[in-house]
Structure 1
């Protein structure tokens, strides 16, 4: 699984759910897998691996003032200081269909029913081996 496949699945599922449920409130509950939390291109911050010119371009695109004498590290600090509000690709896809996304808290697997099901299956597997 990756972000683009999940976004496609979410978009198709939201479209289907909205079509079947009219104006009813729809909520999809997700965990914190990396593919659930990819930021939109507009809100991604520059990375340390970026070249200085790429960071400068990001700052220009986001209308952040800086001095040409700044080091790469100073430019990265500046990008964090002027970071736009995080937006996630799946939230944007779900918004088109008025579907709410509810994220489970990190490291709270007891709230995630699929994790409990996996645990039960693993326990059954180990019981049959003994």
Structure 2
């Protein structure tokens, strides 16, 4: 009995078939044959970023070796995966996103936000401003009018609004940098001294001797947790 194709595999097969049918109906290549990466990405539905992705530690040893060879690099046959991965990390390229290329083609500079810090995203503050303006006009209004109110709120956003929110984000960034300096200073004030003699004691030591081992741990802290 033929082996059943997994759902992810079926999706790729269907995507390739759809691409070929569209190309046949077009009577011409949808993407030039020389653009191999773009054609493969369009056929399979897999982004160019995924196709260019470098192996990770979870990849097989053969995948790592093939990647190194394709990059024109060399490795020793005796190398283990950790050593191969070190070569990969030193030579892997930064990911290239299609959206970045489109924006750069129109003279836009792409800036990415740090993860898990929505307070550093000016768009979050602008979105909050839009929702407030919609809520202020939504008293007694029908639900169908919310779309119109939202469009009016978006159109009411000015360059001054953006400037104000961006300045607010810069203010938060400055505060976070100040806290980082204080945190480093506080961490340096923690001095932990361990008595290495406890490592040489036998496992048959008594409870009294164990208590004395704990007493040899000296911790000097000037930080007051009540603050």
Task: Compute the TM-score of the two structures, normalised by the length of structure 1.
Answer: 0.48
Higher-Rg structure is 2
* Greater relative contact order (CA < 8 Å, ≥ 6 in sequence): 1
More helix by share: 2
Higher strand share: 1
Question: With structure 2 as the length reference, what TM-score do the two structures score?
Answer: 0.30
